[in-house]
Every structure is written in C-alpha cells, then in structure tokens.
Amino acid sequence: MSTLATSRPTQRDAYGLILEAIDVGIYKPGSRLVESELAERFGVSRTPIREALQRLETQSLLTRDGRSLIVASLDHNQMAELYVVRTELEGLAARLAAQHASVEEVNVLQQMVDADRMRVSDAAALARSNKRFHKQLHLASHNRFLVQQLDLVYRSMALLATTSLAVEGRGPVALDEHQAIVTAISDRDGALAYEAVKQHLSQAFVTRLKHDAGEQSW
C-alpha cells in the first residue's frame, strides 16, 4: 500500500494519481478501473477515488463498458483530430518560445536533446524524456493559457496505447527533429520553429499510422 495512506489524500490527489497511472501505462486503453483496487493501490479511501473516476469520465478519459469504467481509447478519426489540434497549439508554443524563451530555457532544451542521444536505444526512457522535452517547450512559450490547453491535449495523448518512438529507427530521427526545433528557437526564428514542430508531429503521426496498420516497413 502507498505511503500516501497516512496523509489522507484528497479527491484532487486521487485524480492525479490515477491520471499519472494512465499516462505511464500502468492502465492502458481498455483497462478496467475498480474503486476498491484503486483505493488499495494508492492508499486512498473509496470516496475520493469515486469522485476522481467521475471527473475522468466527464473528461472522456474513461468510458462505460456496461457497469464498469474502462480507460478510453481513440479511434482513427479521434487520433487524427487530436494531432491537428496538437500541431497547431504546439507550433504556436514554439513560435512564442522563439520570442520569449530565456537563454537559460533554450540551453535546457538543448541539454535535453543532447542527453537523449545517450538513451536513444531505450524506447521507454526516450518516451519519458520526450514528454519532458515537450513540456519544457510549452513552458518556454510563457503563455499560461496555452500551457493549460496543451496539458489537456497531452492527457488525451495518454489514451494512445503505444508511442511512435517504439518503432525501430524513429528515435534518432525524432531527436534530429527536436534539434531542428531548438535551433530555430535559439535563432529566434518563430516561423521556422513552428514549421519544425509541424514537421516533427507530422512524421510522428505517419509513424504511428504505419505502426497501427502493421506496416512499419513500406
């Protein structure tokens, strides 16, 4: 049982714990969530768990399967719609980062890319660091409302069962694309930063479509 049991986590804590478990893949699309099991896992009473599940269902991160709640999944059209929104919002974040990011923030983005070169053969580690890179990119925009909207988009990204970085050969290419984004931001070229993000996410989407279709080598 989690050590959080002694601190009596609130409904908000329960929500965050469940959301993180979905995000890291403990609960994947189609996984059934049971109040009693969640309460035991996280050391939370069933009331905040129930309230958190209701909130997640309202946000369409969970769906009903009879009387059970399961982690939702995205169909082809929903995935395509999500990538359209993600591309525009994240492209805007890169454009704003080129205008507003401090030298230190740009240096951190560069250091992230450099560090990821050392873990490129570890898809799971690269997927985790990829999320950190994109989050840092969002923060570098210095626009709190944009960051909030991107947080919502990334919650929905957790409903994708696989990461495009798991496809053979995608990791090194993705890092080159990250480098192009950082270089454009460092050069204070907002238009190029936007285009670099657009290219990056377009390639990620194509890779995911091929992977889901079972056609990784065309």
Same domain, 117 and 12: no
Same domain, 98 and 54: no
Residue 218 lies in a domain: no
Kindly give, in sequence order, each residue whose CB lies less than 8 Å from that of residue 203, ignoring residues fewer than 6 positions away: 173, 174, 177
What is the C-alpha to C-alpha distance for residues 137 and 212, in angstroms, rounded to an integer? 27
CATH number of residue 38's parent domain: 1.10.10.10
Domain that holds residue 45: 3-71
Q: How deeply is 122 buried, as exposed, middle or buried, from its count of CB atoms within 10 A (0-12, 13-18, 19+)?
A: middle
Q: What is the structure's pLDDT at 124?
A: 84
Same domain, 115 and 92: yes
Same domain, 42 and 85: no
Interior/surface letters 84-99, b for 16+ CB within 10 angstroms, e for the rest: eebbebbbbbbbbbbe
Same domain, 134 and 183: yes
Which tokens hold the place of 165?
């970085």
Q: What is the structure's pLDDT at 10?
A: 53
CATH number of residue 205's parent domain: 1.20.120.530
pLDDT, tens digit only, all 218 positions of the chain = 344 444 454 555 899 899 888 887 889 889 999 999 999 999 989 999 999 999 999 988 999 988 889 999 888 899 999 999 999 999 999 999 999 999 999 999 999 999 999 998 888 889 889 999 999 999 999 999 999 999 999 988 888 866 777 787 899 999 999 999 999 999 999 999 999 999 999 999 998 888 777 754 44
Same domain, 23 and 81: no
Q: What is the structure's pLDDT at 217?
A: 43
